[in-house]
């Protein structure tokens, strides 16, 4: 399962991050999926790339989605990265 919220998603979906987080947490707690089976990524909108805005945006996404890290994709493939909190 891959959850990806990006600027290309409808704004309404981005505003529903907390409800998506509730559904994700419930699915994990009920054993429908494990956290390791879910790859979650997120994008930061271009106007918010200033260094002082990155951390608050990451913290909000992690809080809303009720997770402790996002997945990372690069040329070497995908993996999990801990949030720099």
Segments making up each domain of the chain, as ranges: 2-82
For the stretch 2-39, pLDDT in tens is 555 554 555 566 678 888 899 999 999 999 988 888 88
Cα-Cα end-to-end distance for the chain? 25
Q: Lowest-confidence range among 7-16, 28-37, 54-63, 65-74?
A: 7-16
Q: How far apart are CA 49 and CA 29, in angstroms?
A: 34
Residue 64 has pLDDT above 70, yes or no: yes
Give the pairing type, strands 2-5 and 39-42: parallel
The three-state (H, E, C) secondary structure of the chain, written as one string: CEEEECCCCCHHHHHCHHHHHHHHHHHHHCCCCCHHHCEEEECCCHHHCCHHHHHHHHHHHHHHHCCCEEEEEECCEEEEEECCC
């Amino acid at each position: 399962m891959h959850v990806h919220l990006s600027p290309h998603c409808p704004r309404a979906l981005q505003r529903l991050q907390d409800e998506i987080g509730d559904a994700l947490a419930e699915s994990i707690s009920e054993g429908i999926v494990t956290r390791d089976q879910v790859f979650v990524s997120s994008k930061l909108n271009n106007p918010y790339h200033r260094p002082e805005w990155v951390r608050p945006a990451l913290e909000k996404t992690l809080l809303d989605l009720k997770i402790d890290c996002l997945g990372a994709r690069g040329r070497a493939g995908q993996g999990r990265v801990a949030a720099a909190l």
